[in-house]
Amino acid sequence: QVQLVESGGGLAQAGGSLRLSCAASGFTFSNYAMGWFRQAPGKEREFVASISWRGYVTNYADSVKGRLTVSRDNAKNTMYLQMNSLKPEDTATYYCAASGRNMWSGAAKYWGQGTQVTISS
């Protein structure tokens, strides 16, 4: 059974940091590109970042470049999102996703349940 479990969300102040984790099981994690998405209240889900199967290629939404960093540890079947210089507009539910390919293609094959991030001003 495929599972993607996000953790590390919570409440932080503007300018602060959080680190999200996504623990994967039920599929060969090291073969798949992974991504982070987020959805704020009243808005559509949006792409945040992606990372290729070995971690050599990363991509970011313009709104998070220079502040958020995606990484992965294939030995631990886990992807991370280091979030620095947080802003109130980063408030959202954050989801991790697995692609069906080793490079992110824009489509997710599996989704996690999400973790809430709230940034106070």
Across residues 70-85, what is the average pLDDT? 98
Cα–chain-centroid distance for residue 118? 15
End-to-end, the C-alpha distance of the chain in Å comes to 40
pLDDT of residue 107: 86
pLDDT band per the 50, 70, 90 thresholds, residue 97? very high
pLDDT band per the 50, 70, 90 thresholds, residue 100? confident
Closest listed residue to residue 27, CA positions, set 121, 86, 108: 108
- How many helices and strands (H and E) does the chain possess? 0, 11
Across residues 89-101, what is the average pLDDT? 96
Separation between Cα atoms, residue 73 and residue 79, nearest integer Å: 6
Q: In what order do the strands lie in the sheet with 18-25?
A: 3-7, 18-25, 78-83, 68-73
The pLDDT of residue 81 is above 90? yes
Q: Are 32 and 38 in contact (CB under 8 A)?
A: no
